[in-house]
Amino acid sequence: MPWDVEKVEMLKNEIFKFKFIPTVIVISPKGKIVTMKARTCIVDDPAGDSFPYSRPTFLSIARREDAIIVHKDGREESLQEVCDRNEYVALYFSAAFCKPCKTFTPRLSAMYPGIQSAGTGASEVEGARAAAGGGGDLDRDTEGMGSAAPSEGSAALAAEESKTETETEELPGTTSRFGSEVIFVSADTDRDQTMAYAEGMPFPMLAFDADADASADDAGIAGTKAAGAPPSQQLALACGVKKIPQLTIIHAPTGRIIHRNAKAIAAEPECAATEFPWLEPVAPLRSAGPALNSTRCVVVLADKLTDASKADGLREALRAVATSRFEQTRGSIGQTRFFFAGPEDETAADQVRMACD
């Protein structure tokens, strides 16, 4: 490429928005970004077997034979089987070394029984299980219960994620789905530490892979796009994990991501587990979290309005637009998110104003 400092600066700061060099970016023949982090992929896969290092899809990982889910009673089944049986799957990326994770885990654990039966009464769930011929084999134990900084290439990554997550397909197997499931995906590298941490969770976990070599540091989960990467790393890549804890909600029949990180939503005191997967197209601004840095957002700031009727009118107008958009995209990664700031969102609204000044 002919040297032109202005063009280089435009590519770096306006188009790809990366901060550090060397950076290797792979672009498809149609001009879409395949990955912003090919340099790491090249280090992990020097032979180039996984080129062009496209992001793995949730459905392709679900079909892997080594994607094994371990239930609290020790029973094992494939991730695909879990998807076949449920309408929604929530992947909880967490680790014992992570203090914010240990704060959020009890909250998620307490919500788990409600999440399992969300949208379906408990008796209806049991009836559906019996009708599906699952019997006792489908019973599950239900006892007990930081905002990310802007990442390099966040805008370009959102475009990449949008492309990837639209490539969905139907899982084979049963078409009768009911209820939802939460699955713990560990970012720890020590088996004993992982199992001790999982003991306090009522939901199943992705089987720990001793050979994962998934080094977890204070930047989140570090993974690889090499073809032989373990399921935990591939799931982290498919879900765009940068920091933990992360609670990614997926529509199991299509593999489409509904919420990349619903942790902020679930942490809200007024959040009801029975309303899972929290598909309200307009969310309160205080629950936006990392989405403001990594996703295209429409934000209406009405926190200063003293006329409640005007605020309600603005909220309803935004909901009408968001609902139409939401039905088209199902809230997938990289798609537009809608947030409304009322009086209770004043602190978050002021932070947005400062960022936009």
User: What is the per-residue pLDDT across 66-93, written as a single tens digit (0 to 9) for each?
Assistant: 999 999 999 999 999 999 999 999 999 9
Give residue-wise pLDDT tens across range 304-316: 998 988 999 998 9
- Give me the pLDDT at residue 204, please: 97
Q: In this structure, which amino acid lies at residue 19?
A: K
- Residue in 251, 286, 293 with CA at minimum distance from that of residue 267: 286
Residues near 284 by Cβ (< 8 Å), separated by ≥ 6?
268, 339, 340, 341, 342, 344, 345
Q: Taking residues 101-130, report their average pLDDT.
A: 73
What whole-number distance in Å separates Cα of residue 170 and Cα of residue 31?
Answer: 27
On the CB side of 117, CA atoms within 13 Å amount to 15
Quick one: pLDDT at residue 290?
A: 66
**278 — pLDDT class (breaks 50, 70, 90):** confident
Residue 194 has pLDDT above 80, yes or no: yes
The pTM assigned to this predicted structure is 0.65
* Whole-number Å distance between alpha carbons of 145 and 203: 9
> Is residue 95 predicted with pLDDT exceeding 50?
yes
Specify whether the CB–CB gap between 240 and 333 falls below 8 A. yes
pLDDT in tens, 26-41: 998 888 888 887 888 8
Nearest to 223 by CA among 250, 206, 242, 204: 242
What would the two tokens of residue 71 be? 């239930």
Rg from Cα positions in the chain: 21
For residues 305 and 219, the model is more confident at: 305
Distances (CA, A) of 55 to 27, 225, 312, 356: 13, 7, 40, 31
Mean pLDDT for the stretch of residues 319-335:
68
Q: What pLDDT shows up at residue 155?
A: 40
Contact at 8 Å (CB) between 58 and 255? yes
